[in-house]
Structure 1
């Protein structure tokens, strides 16, 4: 039996809910790099792990100076990102990439800052090594990245948010009495009848696009 070890190397949120990720798979004879893209929605824990990197994105991209609010978020995480009053509401982290090896390994995280004009700017940190002594919060940063890698690994193993329920449309005859709806409902009723007679069902889903 061939044993393998999975090491997550990157993760990128697509359309705010899906995930593209890569990993190295070390087998007995070789190491393979695999990239996957899934249409399964990411779990809230994974979303939160991305959110918790926002203070580091802010500081490493020199968007703001360290203050009490940022330092508190680094130590305790962010729990109000969806609120209009959140200090961090204008920032998002959507991607991390780990490169290098051994003592030279490190990471780049990327995201966006939303401006008052409604537009946004892309932010990417410099390459930060795990032993970077110039960054005051390197230990907390490393821990936050590792927490995110673990969530991406769990996603790889099947941990994701529940799939949204498909909406159903009622073409029942009860609606045929509405005068304004009669032309449309007659067509819909005929269509429904044809589908039933031919034992055909249709499911409708929205296609997901990259950012």
Structure 2
């Protein structure tokens, strides 16, 4: 017998994917409970039972987004050089934020642009999520400096922050309608500021 309030054949992961898209398009504050439940194909009772309240649902949606839509970021960290890590991340980011089958921009940026009545918890959660990604990049770039791959004296923390500023800025522009080619061109310019780019240009 199906649980009361939950449709027969309820797929929690598929419904969560639909919630991701609603939050991505509308932001946390802009996504109403009706928007979410309509898109997920469930009622509020089922939503609360499966995911918790709206904030808890959003946190799960962000985790789902990070695992699936941002897998490219983890892949970039495996590249053999610091420059290759940064180039792979920024170019893959452009592809991700301009996919025809997904909302433009980035959920972690778009989701918290409006401050709701949650005392800033959602905005801080998203900021903390971005800091985690930035720290992972800084750690990888620190290794590149230690290995002599990036020039001695390179500040891996500042470089990681620079990369994230570029990616987050591109996400804002993508959401405003900037095209993929234009954003890749921006990345090409940004990469010229990365230590070690001249050696790569010479090799190619």
Bigger fraction of residues in strand: 1
TM-score category of the 2 structures, normalised to the smaller one: under 0.3
Query: Relative contact order (alpha carbons < 8 A, sep ≥ 6): 1 or 2 greater?
Result: 2
Bigger proportion of residues as helix: 2
| TM-score (structure 1 length as normaliser) | 0.25
TM-score w.r.t. length of structure 2? 0.26
